[in-house]
Amino acid sequence: MRRWLRGMVWIGVAIVLPLFVYVLAALFLGWLPVNRDFRQRADGVDIYVRSNGVHTDIVLPVQSTARDWRGSLEVPGLATAPYIAFGWGDRAFYLETKEWADLRLGNALRAVAGLDSSVMHISSEGRPRESADTVRVRISGAQLAALTAAIDARLVHDGQGRASAIAGAHYGGNDAFFPAQGRYSMFMTCNEWVRATLSSAGIRTAVWAPFSTAVLYQLRQVRK
């Protein structure tokens, strides 16, 4: 009996300890900034990063000196919308989990293990409102171009350089899903993709951010 109890304790430790280390690393590395010297540009372009509490999106102008997304993406409402939102994630989890009530354990485990392909969720948007879950950052034209290139590089393109939406895959009337590069995992989450994309454009962000809180926290430090 004691041996059985001891075995159960060790199994519990083997499960809990990695999770504890993961969360601790996320908190510490999320607090440490990269591109610490980033400053907003008075003559720059407004972009937004928004969160639903779990997942973050990057929101860019539909039309800018860097790109006119209307010419390369077929998203409902994009022809008249001023902004476009990008979110990246696991294919099955993203497509089948519109709300938390739709969550399936199998999809979650496959996503964490990196066993599925990925997609980009793209939606046409009005101008976002700054709030506790939405941060505005003003960046330079060069940074916007770098951000645009990094996002575009995640999309799967055909021989003509166009990305094709997945037929019938959407949440509402203003969005579409597109096949994307890379695999989601517990180390490369949707939020870590946003963090890495911001970092590649020289925008202040965290060292590592598997959770949305670190992404928004670092951007809010820019405003001070």
pLDDT digits (tens, 9 = 90+) for 122-169: 999 999 999 999 999 999 999 999 999 999 999 998 877 788 999 989
In a domain, 57, yes or no: yes
**pLDDT at 186 (0 to 100):** 86
Per the model's pLDDT, the better-predicted residue between 18 and 142 turns out to be 142
pLDDT at 141 (0 to 100): 94
Question: Tens of pLDDT along 55-78?
Answer: 899 999 999 989 999 988 999 999
For residue 117, tell me if it sits in a domain. Answer: yes
Q: Are strands 83-90 and 56-61 parallel, antiparallel or unpaired?
A: antiparallel
What is the domain range of residue 42? 32-222
List Cα–Cα distances, 6 to 18, 21, 30, 79, 126, in angstroms: 19, 22, 35, 63, 58
Tokens representing 101 are 């009530």
Domain count of the chain?
A: 1
pLDDT at 23 over 90: no
> How many whole angstroms separate alpha carbon 206 and alpha carbon 214?
6
Determine, yes or no, domain membership for 135.
yes
Residue 7: pLDDT over 60: no
56 lies in some domain: yes
DSSP string, 41-89: -TTSEEEEEEESSS-EEEEEESBSSS-BGGGT---TTTTT-SEEEEEEE
- Cβ atoms of 47 and 59 within 8 Å: the answer is yes
Pairing of β 45-51 and β 56-61? antiparallel
Q: Is residue 13 situated within a structural domain?
A: no
Q: Does some domain include residue 5?
A: no
Q: Domain for residue 113, yes or no?
A: yes
